[in-house]
Structure 1
Amino acid sequence: MAAATLRSVLRRNSLLPLFETCHLRDLFFFSSSVDRAAAAVGGTMSPDPHFMVEYLVNSCGFSPSEAAKVSKPLAHLRSTEKPDAVLNFMRSQGFGGAGIRKVISADPRYLCYNVEKRLAPKFQFLRDLGLSESDIVDAILKNHGILLYNGHRSIVPKLEMWESLLGSRELVLKHLKKTRRFFYSSVEKTLDPNLKFLRDECGIPEERLSLVLRSHPQLILQKPESLRALVARADELGTPRQSRMFVWTLDALQMLSKESFEAKAELMRSFGWSESEFSSAVRKAPTFLCISLDMLRRKVEFFINVVGYTPSFIASQPSILLYSLQKRVIPRFRVLEMLNTKGLCTQRGKFSYYVKLSNEKFREKIVLPYKEKVPELLDILRAGAEQ
């Protein structure tokens, strides 16, 4: 069997005539030598270009169909030496089976890496930045391209740029662990042009821009042409570029597809908002667009049907839509209603004011003055906080 396999390999490489005079025992001897050499380096060798499919199934836990797809860039491999070394290294660094499959699926060529020259130094570089083992796993699962980059030529410039923009190394590392493709975008082709456009053409001060990017850096990770299209959409809503809300409008729009945006506009029209009221509400509190369609409907229905607000009033005070219905709005409304039924507080019309108060201020102004007469008020707030 081994001789037949070897004969097949030699035929494919046009070398068979050179070996036709060899004895069968020489073929077996050669085949056995190859197996021993592979064993010496800790892998297995195979002349079958598809042996990686079986390897990926057995070693990584891929399904046969997934393994067939992942193995295509690995067809040149004839030994499992490097894949074995890569998998062993990744396991030693805290990667589980699912994590390994995710990284390898993203770029199967990682299995061809030299561990000592390409992987180990990269992991050491990330440790030197202050990341723990679990941090490094999280960062690579979100930004597997880190494994492609040169630490000092590529990662350091991005690290320095983000640190200056966000204001701290801690925030940079937080996004590196949690934000998908955080380190993918080119400084020269994407980040710098986007920052220049927002600062110089849109007139957004860097400190205002930095405030948004600290929570949503994706705003400047998109292609420059996509960002310009986003600005055009914000312009159509009538949000002045010099307004503090302009950059937040961009942030909200970049998280919404046009279909989702239109669905929410249609929902608010169904409650009676005019086009001008919708645009006005977006200018005042653009992040209400990020609320799910179902939750937005429930909030508006509560304010109209229970609190008694008109759609026009809600449009004039859209920030009340930003607060949690179950944890904040309903418990506070119940507190005020209970005080109202006891004749202790009759300022129901100011509910929008009380919704916006901080938790501490609401307790101080509304709950604590009546805790002796109505001790259950604290229970109402506590129940809401636990939901």
Structure 2
Amino acid sequence: MLRLRNSILSHLLSTSAASTVWPLHQHLSAAAAAVSPRPSFAVEKYLIDTCGLTRAQALKAATKIPHVNCPSKPDAVLAFLAGLGLSSADVAAVVARDPKFLCAGVERTLDPVVLGLNGLGISRSEVARLVSLAPERFRSRCIVSKLQYYLPLFGSTERLLRALNHSSNLLSSSLEKVVKPNVAFLQECGLGACDIASLCGCARWILATKPEHVRAMATRAEAVGVPRGSGLFRQAMQAVAFLSESEIAIKVEQLKNMLKWSDAEVGIAVRKAPMVLVRSNDALQRKSEFFISEVGLEPAYIAHRPALLSYSLEGRIKPRYYVLKFLKVKGLLHQDRDYYNAVMISEKFFMARFICPHKKAAPHLAEDYAAACRGEMATRFRFT
């Protein structure tokens, strides 16, 4: 460097001696401009002006891609994203979440990934959603083989995308060491692909967690009285997913106290409807009081029909009770209908059995029932 500088100075001095027009300092400035490096690529400015990030986002993102010194590769990536149909806001969100996406090779990685996913039947718009959901995973070719495994399990791209929306860990977890062992174990417990996909909807971490955690979860499900292979085992797994053994024991005691159940009755209820373990205490208390005090149901009756506890008190349980009571008081119910059956049937069949046949005798019944479903107590439903 010293030799270069001396050479430049020597050249300038000899030149300046022969020239009376160009002063020495101008020679030095021109020489400095000739040997100075090109201005560095302004990453932060590019992130703000071209990618649409806020200044705060750009400052944070720039620290993750300090090696980017020209816009050629980022420009190619932005063109790729635009080609998939991502909006400016979507692109900004992708870059903010994963700035390294701007460094991905379009021809080497991104285009082959798109072709591979299209080959699995995933449309271009679905590919675009996938980029937004998991950009850091999309820039790896292994995403194609992982989705090839997951698609049959979830049954459709839409279900898979919904699962990834809540747990992108599915794409980062090892298929061989974690996911496949968990799936195999759940299948041994009698769960089919639809059951597993449904379980992932609530316990989103289940396939990506350590296999020993899934086995412990199954043990807790069995402990509440639901055996493996039972049609309710998936619900039992779902119910105990976020409960420890001690928390389950506490909940069982609370159920006994709120619903006036014996040990045997609470056991029956949990076996028949494991999700009763995750119902809120406030909701259960209010339903218990209504069933026992208002409707006059015995605790044992409820224990053998715990599905009653799964319905909305205001939106279903009370309105249907008011209709049955009204019909009985008016002498329009010619046989003693079982309340459980009236609650359990669909809205369509409830209307067909208890509302429509009485249009002439009770012309306002449908109106009053609709009001009750909205939480409004009709005057004609007041009998005291």
TM-score between the two structures when normalised by the length of structure 1: 0.73
Structure 1 unpaired stretches of 5+: 1-15, 36-44
Report if aligned partners of 1:138, 1:178 keep a CA contact under 8 Å in 2: no
Q: Name the structure 2 match of 1:99.
A: 90
* 2:230 corresponds to 1:243: yes
Please give the alpha-carbon distance, in whole angstroms, between the structure 2 residues aligned to 1:101 and 1:274. 58
Aligned pairs, how many?
345
Q: Name the structure 1 match of 2:381.
A: none
Query: Paired residue for 2:182, among 185, 189, 194?
Result: 194
Q: Secondary structure at the match of 1:121?
A: helix
* 2:366 corresponds to 1:378: yes
Relative distance call for 1:283 and 1:221 in structure 2 (3 A) is farther
Query: Paired residue for 1:126, among 94, 114, 117?
Result: 117
Q: Name the structure 1 match of 2:17.
A: none
Instruction: Give the counterpart letter for 2:232 in structure 1.
Output: M
Q: Name the structure 2 match of 1:79.
A: 70
Please give the alpha-carbon distance, in whole angstroms, between the structure 2 residues aligned to 1:137 and 1:383. 44
Relative distance call for 1:288 and 1:68 in structure 2 (3 A) is farther
Q: Percent identity?
A: 30
Please give the alpha-carbon distance, in whole angstroms, between the structure 2 residues aligned to 1:276 and 1:26. 95
Query: Structure 1, residues 84-107: CA drift from partner, whole Å, max 9, x if none?
Result: 332343244233455335433443
State the Cα distance separating 1:63 from its structure 2 match. 4.6
Query: Structure 1, residues 282-309: CA drift from partner, whole Å, max 9, x if none?
Result: 3211234454565455544443454343
List aligned pairs for 1:264-275, cutoff 5 A: 268-269=255-256, 271=258, 272-273=260-261
Report if aligned partners of 2:273, 2:307 keep a CA contact under 8 Å in 1: yes
Q: Name the structure 1 match of 2:196.
A: 213
* 2:300 corresponds to 1:309: no
Relative distance call for 1:61 and 1:157 in structure 2 (3 A) is closer
* 2:43 corresponds to 1:52: yes
Query: Paired residue for 1:28, among 8, 15, 33?
Result: 33
Q: Name the structure 1 match of 2:156.
A: 172
Please give the alpha-carbon distance, in whole angstroms, between the structure 2 residues aligned to 1:278 and 1:70. 55
Please give the alpha-carbon distance, in whole angstroms, between the structure 2 residues aligned to 1:294 and 1:109. 48
Relative distance call for 1:231 and 1:369 in structure 2 (3 A) is same
Report if aligned partners of 2:239, 2:274 keep a CA contact under 8 Å in 1: yes
Please give the alpha-carbon distance, in whole angstroms, between the structure 1 residues aligned to 2:60 and 2:249. 38
Report if aligned partners of 1:191, 1:220 keep a CA contact under 8 Å in 2: yes
Q: Name the structure 2 match of 1:367.
A: 355
Name the Cα RMSD after superposition: 3.6
Please give the alpha-carbon distance, in whole angstroms, between the structure 1 residues aligned to 2:282 and 2:91. 37
Instruction: Give the counterpart letter for 1:239 in structure 2.
Output: V
Please give the alpha-carbon distance, in whole angstroms, between the structure 2 residues aligned to 1:101 and 1:263. 47
Report if aligned partners of 2:268, 2:303 keep a CA contact under 8 Å in 1: yes
State the Cα distance separating 1:52 from its structure 2 match. 3.5
State the Cα distance separating 1:73 from its structure 2 match. 2.4
Instruction: Give the counterpart letter for 2:159 in structure 1.
Output: H
Query: Structure 1, residues 320-348: CA drift from partner, whole Å, max 9, x if none?
Result: 12223444323322321221221222777
Relative distance call for 1:29 and 1:291 in structure 2 (3 A) is farther
Relative distance call for 1:27 and 1:109 in structure 2 (3 A) is same
Q: Secondary structure at the match of 2:192?
A: helix
Q: Name the structure 1 match of 2:312.
A: 324
Relative distance call for 1:375 and 1:193 in structure 2 (3 A) is same
State the Cα distance separating 1:77 from its structure 2 match. 2.0
* 2:209 corresponds to 1:222: yes
* 2:240 corresponds to 1:253: yes
Please give the alpha-carbon distance, in whole angstroms, between the structure 1 residues aligned to 2:262 and 2:59. 55
Report if aligned partners of 2:186, 2:196 keep a CA contact under 8 Å in 1: no
Relative distance call for 1:144 and 1:232 in structure 2 (3 A) is farther
Relative distance call for 1:162 and 1:87 in structure 2 (3 A) is closer
Q: Name the structure 2 match of 1:336.
A: 324
Please give the alpha-carbon distance, in whole angstroms, between the structure 2 residues aligned to 1:310 and 1:267. 18
Please give the alpha-carbon distance, in whole angstroms, between the structure 2 residues aligned to 1:296 and 1:133. 47
* 2:97 corresponds to 1:110: no
Please give the alpha-carbon distance, in whole angstroms, between the structure 2 residues aligned to 1:308 and 1:209. 40
Relative distance call for 1:194 and 1:367 in structure 2 (3 A) is same
Please give the alpha-carbon distance, in whole angstroms, between the structure 1 residues aligned to 2:263 and 2:61. 50
Q: Secondary structure at the match of 1:138?
A: helix
* 2:340 corresponds to 1:352: yes
Instruction: Give the counterpart letter for 1:211 in structure 2.
Output: C
Please give the alpha-carbon distance, in whole angstroms, between the structure 2 residues aligned to 1:263 and 1:27. 79
Please give the alpha-carbon distance, in whole angstroms, between the structure 2 residues aligned to 1:97 and 1:270. 56
State the Cα distance separating 1:244 from its structure 2 match. 1.9
Please give the alpha-carbon distance, in whole angstroms, between the structure 1 residues aligned to 2:250 and 2:363. 44
TM-score between the two structures when normalised by the length of structure 2: 0.73
Q: Report which stretch shifted further, 347-356 or 244-253.
A: 347-356
Structure 2 unpaired stretches of 5+: 9-27, 376-384
Q: Name the structure 2 match of 1:159.
A: 148
Report if aligned partners of 2:93, 2:132 keep a CA contact under 8 Å in 1: yes
State the Cα distance separating 1:241 from its structure 2 match. 1.9
Please give the alpha-carbon distance, in whole angstroms, between the structure 1 residues aligned to 2:29 and 2:215. 71
Relative distance call for 1:94 and 1:157 in structure 2 (3 A) is closer
Q: Name the structure 2 match of 1:42.
A: none
Q: Name the structure 2 match of 1:148.
A: 139
